[in-house]
């Protein structure tokens, strides 16, 4: 699968949390996220490993009880089934990979 860049194509997962699925295969999915300042991602967990890179903005994560401030250029890998949440402190752009594929993020 190959993705050619285009504007649009985002869907709102939660208030202020927008996802565009870029590509996916049998074992992984790559998504581009736009997060609005003040958006909140509640505590949750899932069976997928989640690896991300913050392009711009600031996010306050809580991962397995630990508070982490992510700033541009920071990256993370959250293991499967680990509780995590996030508060968006500044408008953000980021990319994340989920493995195995998150069926609910398929286009």
Q: What is the pLDDT of residue 6?
A: 82
Rounded-to-integer distance, Cα 21 and Cα 18, Å: 10
Q: What is the pLDDT of residue 14?
A: 97
Q: What is the pLDDT of residue 21?
A: 96
The domain ranges of the chain are: 22-105
pTM: 0.93
SS3 40: strand
Q: What is the pLDDT of residue 31?
A: 97
CATH number of 22-105: 2.60.120.10
Structural contact between residues 77 and 48, judged by C-beta atoms closer than 8 angstroms: no
Q: What is the pLDDT of residue 1?
A: 77
How many other CB atoms are there within 10 angstroms of residue 72's CB atom?
14
Written as tens digits, the pLDDT of the chain (107 aa) is 788 888 789 999 999 999 999 999 999 999 999 999 999 999 999 999 999 999 999 999 999 999 999 999 999 999 999 999 999 999 999 999 999 999 999 98
Q: CA dihedral in degrees (23, 26, 49, 92; nearest 10)?
A: 10
């Amino acid at each position: 699968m190959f993705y050619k860049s285009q504007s649009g194509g985002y869907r709102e997962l939660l208030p202020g949390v927008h996802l565009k699925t870029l590509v996916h295969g049998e074992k992984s999915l790559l998504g581009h996220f736009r997060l609005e300042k003040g958006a909140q991602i509640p505590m949750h967990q899932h069976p997928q490993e989640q690896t991300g890179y913050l392009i711009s903005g600031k996010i306050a994560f809580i991962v397995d009880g630990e508070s982490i401030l992510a700033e541009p250029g920071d990256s993370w890998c959250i293991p499967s089934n680990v509780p995590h949440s996030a508060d968006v402190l500044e408008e953000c752009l980021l990319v994340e990979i989920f493995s195995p594929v998150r069926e609910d993020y398929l286009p």
